[in-house]
Structure 1
Amino acid sequence: MLECRNIAVTERLHAFSTRIAPGSRIHLIGPNGAGKSTLLTRLAGMSRGVGDVLLAGQKLDEIPGPRLARLRGWLCQQLTPASLMPVFQYLSLHQPRNAEPAVLANVIASLCEVLHLSDKLARPVTHLSGGEWQRVRLAAVFVQVWPDVNPDSQLLFLDEPMNSLDVAQQQAVDQLISEFCAAGRSVVISDHDLNHTLHYAHQVWLMSAGCVIATGECSDVMVAEKLTAAYNVPFQIHAMAGRKWIMTVSH
């Protein structure tokens, strides 16, 4: 699906190579300034640097913009609404070309219901709370790549998608991500909630100081020793109520 070969960004990201298989849910973790957003931006084709990113065997830099928008979705960490357009119009800007109107309408209605936006469609995007605007942005990027309306979609890159969301809204986003991956697509997510990563990620990339210092299955990366080394904070992992939980250790 996607392969990167020795990609790097001067003074921000050291050389990194990997492959992403279909159906993968990858969480990118590490302290502030570790390079998570830089790596995501490079993988999504939103920045340039050393090395190559290949999607479906073609270099990302050589894929025309409209085609790239069909292959992958990208949610940046922050975006300020810039006009008074209503939510339904903002969502329409992200609909794939040539989507069947009836199917598209059903997908948008379903996404808005899951994300609790059905009563916000007529509201100007500038009149939304932080959490409402984040959910609108998420709905828009899901519309862009949702398999029912875009059979060409392959990947979704989400930079801290849970920002400003409460627990119920986070669960709704996790539900959509799971459905997207179950359809053979892959998602790469930057995440600051280590327990969220521990409970939901298939694979984890752990970063520190611009380097990806560990990659692999969640159970192999989310161990106290590796997390302590990356965050410079002592961690322990405990089992409670049938699940594992990561906790910091008091000095």
Structure 2
Amino acid sequence: MIRIDGVSVGSRLLPLSFECGRGEIVHLIGPNGSGKSTLLSAIAGTEDYSGHVFIGDVDSKGYSLEDLAMVRAYLSQSEKPAFNLPVFQYLSLSIPTKHNVSVDQLNNAVAELSQEVQIQDKLHRPIHQLSGGEWQRVRLAGICLQVWPTINPMAKLLLLDEPAASLDIGQEKLLYQLIRKVADQGIVILMANHDLNRSLKHADKAVLLEQGVMVKFGEVEDIITEEHIRRVFCTDVKLEMIRGSNVLIFD
């Protein structure tokens, strides 16, 4: 279980609290500037915050950065690094330093994740030769490798800041399949997301933010409603049932 208890970041994020159960996928939604990235960086421990983040039954403020890397992984919004490495070497850097992983374990996990995001043919390519979508898929494979159960059985939490950035619709499908596969292995997923229809389809729960304030938290169908979206996003929407699923229609 992950418990967020009164977490705040100055005036950018006012105190909020919620809990996530094992294997749940929770989307952070809200307009630009609502505090999604700030909340993720606070939970990840990369930004100073007030309050408490409990990962399991341990307050994460009691972890060193090295220990945090064992229990959570964090994909921020980022450009390509200044250094240039082949993709397979970049992926190998995702392994927590405290784990003694065999070559076979690493190769098997890399092969499985590379297939999930379809980068098998790019493992020997320098990262500076990748397109934006290819690089994002490599980053996704790397961050999932950090919490992959056969590599890191201590992992409990995966934080993703707009992971669908730079992906086309086919690649987005691969992303959401991979996220569900990770969650099915007991990892809590907390991710910022702009596509509300993707949230309706793929999230278990949602946190609705507005100007640094948590408006509501709960089951995704209780959060993404016409009333809430109209008020927070200041836009007209209709919620319709299409092929058995709720879909937001924007006027």
Question: TM-score band (shorter)?
Answer: over 0.9
User: Which residues of 2 match residues 70-219 of structure 1 at below 5 A?
Assistant: 70-96=70-96, 97-219=99-221
For the 8 Å contact 1:2–1:21, the answer to whether it is kept is: yes
* Counterpart residue number, 1:224: 226
Moved >4 Å (runs of 4+)? none
Give the letter aligned to residue 65 of structure 1: L
- Structure 1 unaligned runs (5+)? none
More deviation in 23-32 or 95-104?
95-104
RMSD of Structure 2 on Structure 1 (CA): 1.1
TM-score, L = length of structure 1: 0.96
| 1:41 to 2:37 alignment | no
> What secondary structure does 2:3 align onto?
strand
> What secondary structure does 2:138 align onto?
helix
- Structure 2 unaligned runs (5+)? none
Number of aligned residue pairs: give it: 249
For the 8 Å contact 1:100–1:149, the answer to whether it is kept is: no
In 2, Cα distance between equivalents of 1:131 and 1:2: 30
User: Deviations 1:76-108 (Å, cap 9, x if unpaired)?
Assistant: 012322112111110011123212321221110
Q: CA deviation at 1:198?
A: 0.6
For the 8 Å contact 2:18–2:217, the answer to whether it is kept is: no
Q: What percentage of residue pairs aligned between the two structures are identical?
A: 38
> What secondary structure does 1:40 align onto?
helix
* Counterpart residue number, 2:240: 238
Give the letter aligned to residue 204 of structure 1: A
Q: CA deviation at 1:58?
A: 2.0
TM-score, L = length of structure 2: 0.96
User: Deviations 1:62-88 (Å, cap 9, x if unpaired)?
Assistant: 202222111011000123221121111
User: Deviations 1:196-227 (Å, cap 9, x if unpaired)?
Assistant: 00111000101111111011001111110011
* Counterpart residue number, 1:248: 250
In 2, Cα distance between equivalents of 1:124 and 1:219: 42
In 2, Cα distance between equivalents of 1:123 and 1:81: 15
In 2, Cα distance between equivalents of 1:145 and 1:84: 24
User: Deviations 1:119-175 (Å, cap 9, x if unpaired)?
Assistant: 111111111110011011111101111112111010100000000111121111111
